[in-house]
Amino acid sequence: MSQMARSIFLKVSRGVSLTCLCIVVVAVVVAPLELLFYPFLKSIGCSLSDGQQGFTCDGWIGGFTSPVLNLPILFSDAREFTFGPQAPSGRGVAIYLFDGIFILALAYPLLILFAGKGRRRGS
């Protein structure tokens, strides 16, 4: 692989991994906030559904808040899928997507580490 192609591949890989890491960080920040602000969330029409194990929100605001509120649950399921014997039922393809995001987020520090070594070796 040429040096230019390797550089482009590394930049794209770092960008994708950094995006995934940001998504995981948002999920980690949202989890405790859900607990603190659950009464407020309930007052604006959001509730924790038992059957699907996730938040559902009413109205136009629900389209924006439900996905963000469900991030911690989806990553929890993905972690269980990755390190457990079976996938939780009812999530379908989303489990594979969030499992991939989780793994790419964990790869970001490695990409930074190896990119730094490559630059020092090439100089």
For 92-105, the pLDDT digits (tens) are 677 778 888 988 99
Percent of the chain at pLDDT above 90?
Answer: 15
**pTM given for the model:** 0.75
Neighbours of 53 (CB within 10 A): 15
Inform me whether the pLDDT recorded for 75 exceeds 90.
no
Q: What is the pLDDT of residue 84?
A: 63
Binning pLDDT at 50, 70 and 90, where does residue 83 land? low
User: String of b and e for 64-91 (b: at least 16 CB within 10 Å)?
Assistant: ebeeebbbbbbbebbeebeeeeebeeeb
Q: In the chain, what are the domain boundaries? A: 3-122
